């Protein structure tokens, strides 16, 4: 856990670099921006006042958008913006976080979010 906390500045620089890179699809950038807007919006699929589950849908939407952007950007673009050890970038697997977040969501909402993620 501490390892990932120490890596947080590098991940933030990676995100900023990807958002500013012309080689990254505008659709992917808009999906990440939309996910961030969804997190701050008071209206959610699962209201935030419901402990734990209220935050899981936010995490799921954000991780889904980030995973899509990272997969579509390609390794060359990722390495151009990664300031850490390139072998650390291989550990960047948001799919595990996505699966963990999705596990706690009701099946109906998981299906709806998967459809949105494929769009």
pLDDT of amino acid 98 = 53
Structure tokens at 89: 């970038």
Residues 6+ apart with CB under 8 A from 78: 14, 18, 70, 89, 92
Tell me how far the alpha carbon of residue 98 is from its chain's centroid.
8
Predicted TM-score (pTM) of this structure: 0.67
| Average pLDDT estimate for 59-79 | 86
Say if residue 47's pLDDT is above 70: yes
Say if residue 72's pLDDT is above 80: yes
Alpha carbon separation from 34 to 21, 31, 75, 92, 107 (Å, rounded): 18, 5, 24, 22, 23
């Amino acid at each position: 856990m501490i390892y990932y906390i120490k890596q947080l500045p590098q991940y933030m620089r990676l995100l900023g670099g990807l958002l500013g890179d012309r080689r990254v699809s505008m659709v992917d950038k808009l999906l990440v921006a939309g996910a961030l807007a969804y997190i701050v919006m008071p209206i959610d699929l699962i209201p935030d006042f419901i402990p734990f589950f209220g935050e899981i849908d936010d995490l799921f939407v954000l991780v889904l958008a980030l995973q899509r952007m990272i997969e579509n950007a390609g390794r060359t673009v990722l390495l151009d913006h990664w300031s850490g050890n390139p072998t650390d970038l291989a550990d960047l697997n948001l799919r595990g976080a996505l699966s963990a977040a999705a596990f706690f969501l009701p099946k109906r909402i998981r299906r709806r979010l998967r459809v949105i993620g494929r769009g």
